[in-house]
Amino acid sequence: MEQDEVTINNSSLMGTILADIHKTDFRQLELDSSQATNSKKIDWMFYLNKGRNENSEWIKILDANMDKLYEWSMKAKNSFSMLASNNVISHRDLEPKNVMWRQDIPIIIDWESAGYINPMHDLVETAVYWSVDSSGSINEEKFLAFIAGYKKRVGSLTANWEVVLDIGFAGKLDWLEYSLKRSLWIECTDIEEQLLGTSQVIRTLEALKQYENMISDIKNWLNT
């Protein structure tokens, strides 16, 4: 499903399904939970300097956001530390593109990212997936429908939403670093992959700024 095709009912149902995933007892799998607490430090200046040496097309936008990148990275790191003690196993990439629909019944695919995650982090991040359009604008009604669907299974929610929202920078920052590595031929095997990495650097920086701009609204919705 494409983001622009998501309905309010889709969002509500997926909120309920996410709650069911979170409530599933996976203890018998005896998985390593250490992956959930890792938060690495990224040297953004290294990539900027290397980009300058190679005259990469994203130099100006990366340089303009350098202070923000370190600010977002610190917020993500601090929030990881604060939320690390409470984790569940989840899909961790439950975007509309990873759900197929057959007669209004969702079929979840692409579980390769499944693992440990803080449940409130997963809730908010997934609710955003199901409430933004292709331009990155968020729809309040769809977002709250997702949250309401989740609450049908778990009841009321209690969380430090500012901390939960800060951790939302983490995945985007990791994707930005990976894209930089592809663009700079650090982790890249062909020109097509290199060009994709370059385009993703620019898109991900825009996505980070969009996310920062929507945090205030999301926090207000969650606290209402």
| Sole residue written with tokens 């729809």 | 139
Q: Does 25 have pLDDT greater than 80?
A: yes
Residue among 79, 104, 52 nearest 170 (CA): 79
pLDDT tens digit sequence for 139-195: 999 999 999 999 999 999 999 999 999 999 999 999 999 999 999 999 999 999 999
Q: How much is the pTM?
A: 0.90
How many Å from the N-terminal Cα to the C-terminal Cα in the chain? 30
pLDDT tens digit sequence for 154-168: 999 999 999 999 999
Contact criterion met (CB below 8 Å) for 109 and 95:
no
Q: Hey, which residues does 105 pair with through a beta bridge?
A: 102
* Dist CA 126 CA 14 (whole Å): 9
Residue among 5, 26, 28 nearest 133 (CA): 5
3-class state of residue 41 by DSSP: coil
Mean pLDDT within 9-27: 94
